[in-house]
């Protein structure tokens, strides 16, 4: 089926893992949207009860409220499960995320999940991170021109998202630099260098975080475990 059908199939598989009483991280993006909608449907049908959602963006919080998923702010308690999309998924389930601009709240939320379940269509599969997507890097607005120069020195070829008078602003009031990744790099090392760059808040590398990915292909949904 078309990509939207595939995204929804992956989402249904992830939501099938949700049990009554769970605290669930609600991802952001066009795939996670289907998961939030399905959670609402299952609650309305009485198939699930006592679910608490923790949203990873203003948009996902609004959607959760709209479909009847109760939401609470992130607090230090662990989440039983988090469900989210990805921009790239490599064979070790290392991810690039952030094309939807939600990477900071997603990482802050999903690091507290006992299980991080990724949902995607097959176009997100890569053999190596960087093949298809830039690496989003959230940077402070203050001094962003200097931070962009520091990042250009580290990963040449990137650009501020939506450059011009009104750059893209995240839910957290920050900007995003979309970095073009080099042909060969060591993700953990590059993550360390980026995080050590003054003005960088967070990167879209989600390394070693995902436990399982449901990837919908025209031949069916693949379940990939780390």
Binding-site residues from annotation: 28-31, 84-87, 97-100, 124
- Give the dihedral sign, CA 41/43/47/53: positive
Q: According to the binding rule CB under 6 A, does residue 170 interact with ligand DER?
A: no
Least gap, CB of 80 to ligand DER (angstroms) = 19
Annotated binding site for substrate: 28-31, 84-87, 97-100, 124
Instruction: Give whichever of 53 and 101 is closer to ligand DER, judged by the CB atom.
Output: 101
Among 102, 104, 190, 215, contact with ligand DER (rule: CB under 6 A):
102
Nearest distance in Å: CB 118, ligand DER:
9
Using the contact rule CB under 6 A, the part of the chain among 78-86, 141-149, 158-166, 213-221 near ligand DER is: 78-86
Task: Say which of 9, 61, 106, 110 is annotated catalytic.
Answer: 106
Does 87 interact with ligand DER (rule: CB under 6 A)?
Answer: yes
User: CB 69 → ligand DER: shortest distance, Å?
Assistant: 17
CA distances (Å), 15 to each of 10, 29, 76, 103, 122, in order?
Answer: 9, 16, 23, 21, 19
User: Which of these segments, 59-67, 99-107, 165-173, 209-217, binds ligand DER (CB under 6 A)?
Assistant: 99-107
Whether 149 contacts 159, CB under 8 Å: no
Rounded Cα distance, 116 and 212, in Å: 7
Closest among 165, 163, 137 to 150, alpha carbons compared: 137
- 100 binding ligand DER? (CB under 6 A): yes
Q: Contacting ligand DER (CB under 6 A), which of 14, 28, 94, 178?
A: 28
Strand order in the sheet with 23-26: 52-55, 23-26, 81-84, 116-121, 212-217, 220-225
60, containing H or E segment = helix 58-67
Annotated active-site residue 106? The verdict is yes
194 near 203, Cβ under 8 Å?
A: yes
Choosing from 9, 23, 29, 144, the residue that interacts with ligand DER (CB under 6 A) is: 29
Specify whether the CB–CB gap between 136 and 170 falls below 8 A.
no
Provide the binding-site residues for ligand DER, judged by CB under 6 A: 27-32, 84-87, 97-103, 106
The residues that are catalytic are: 106
């Amino acid at each position: 089926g078309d990509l939207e059908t595939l995204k929804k199939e992956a989402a249904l598989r992830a939501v099938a893992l949700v049990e009554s009483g769970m605290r669930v991280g609600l991802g952001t993006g066009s795939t996670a949207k289907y998961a939030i909608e399905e959670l609402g449907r299952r609650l309305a049908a009485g198939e699930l009860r006592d679910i608490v959602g923790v949203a990873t963006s203003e948009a996902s919080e609004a959607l959760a409220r709209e479909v009847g998923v109760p939401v609470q702010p992130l607090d230090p308690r662990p989440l039983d499960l988090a469900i989210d999309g990805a921009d790239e998924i490599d064979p070790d389930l290392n991810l690039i995320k952030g094309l939807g601009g939600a990477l900071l709240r997603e990482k802050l939320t999903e690091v507290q999940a006992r299980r991080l379940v990724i949902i995607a269509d097959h176009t997100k599969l890569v053999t190596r991170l960087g093949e298809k997507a830039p690496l989003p890097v959230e940077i402070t607005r203050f001094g962003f021109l200097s931070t962009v120069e520091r990042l250009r020195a580290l990963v040449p070829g990137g650009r501020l998202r939506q450059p011009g008078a009104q750059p893209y602003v995240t839910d957290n009031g920050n900007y995003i630099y979309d970095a073009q990744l080099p042909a060969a790099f060591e993700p953990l090392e590059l993550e360390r260098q980026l995080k050590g760059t003054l003005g960088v808040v967070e990167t879209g590398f989600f390394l070693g975080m995902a436990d399982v990915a449901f990837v919908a292909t025209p031949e069916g949904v693949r379940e990939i475990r780390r």
